[in-house]
Structure formats: structure tokens, C-alpha cells
Amino acid sequence: MNWLLVALGGAIGAVSRYGLGSYFIKSSATFPWATWCINLLGCFLAGVFFAFSQQYPTLQNNARLFLMVGILGGFTTFSSFGLETFNLLREGQALWAIGYAVSSVVLGVILLAVGYVIFSHLLPLKT
């Protein structure tokens, strides 16, 4: 059952990433906006789920596999991030590469924390 949850979630995440990246966010020649936005959104959503899982411990097993490993694992794009950073460096765009890498990591962690804080305060206290 765990494999099925991860596979189904992964399919949903991958299709969502493709749709968002292809139809709503266009990368430019100088900066990979689509991957950047998707990774940051994925970090925010990870924070939201973490807040839910802290309030509702039953979400820590099957829901974690489906949402975090499956959907968000298929949605976020760390391998694409690495390749795009490398290509920026290879093309002599060192400042863009550094800005992309640093902002992705720093903003990703900040947005994860924001998602967690916002949703942990909106959820009813567990009894």
C-alpha cells in the first residue's frame, strides 16, 4: 500500500509541476523562474503539511507518504535546480547562479517556516 501511495502522489506532483511550469510560469534565458517558483511553493506546502501533521499525528504515516514523499517529491525539482545552476555557471552567469542557489535555499527554508507558522496557528488545538 505504501508504494501505491507514493506512486499516486508522485504522479500527481509530477503532472502538477509540468502544468505549472509549462503553462503559468515561463523561465527566461537568464533565470529559471519556473523551477525557482515551484521549489519555493513546494517548501511552503511542506511547511503547511508539517503544521497539520503536528496537530493531527494520524497524518504522519500514510498521508506523509502520499503528500510529502509522493506529491511534493514529484512536484519539487531539486535535480532540475542542480542542472540549471550548473548551466548558469557553465555559461559564465556566476552571479545569476549564486543568486539562484542562495535565494532558492534561503527563501525555501523561510517559506517552509512561514507555512508552518501560519497553519499551526490556524488549526484547532489537539485535545
Binding-site residues from annotation for Na(+): 73, 76
Angle at 21 between CA 103 and CA 101, to 5 degrees: 20
Residue 6 to residues 20, 63, 70, 71: CA-CA distances in angstroms? 21, 10, 4, 8
**How far, in Å, CA of 92 to CA of 90, rounded?**
5
Q: Which residues are annotated as a binding site?
A: 73, 76
One-letter-per-residue 3-state SS of 10-71: HHHHHHHHHHHHHHHCCCCCCCCHHHHHHHHHHHHHHHHHHHHHHHCHHHHCHHHHHHHHHH
The separation between the first and the last C-alpha atoms of the chain, rounded to the nearest angstrom, is: 30
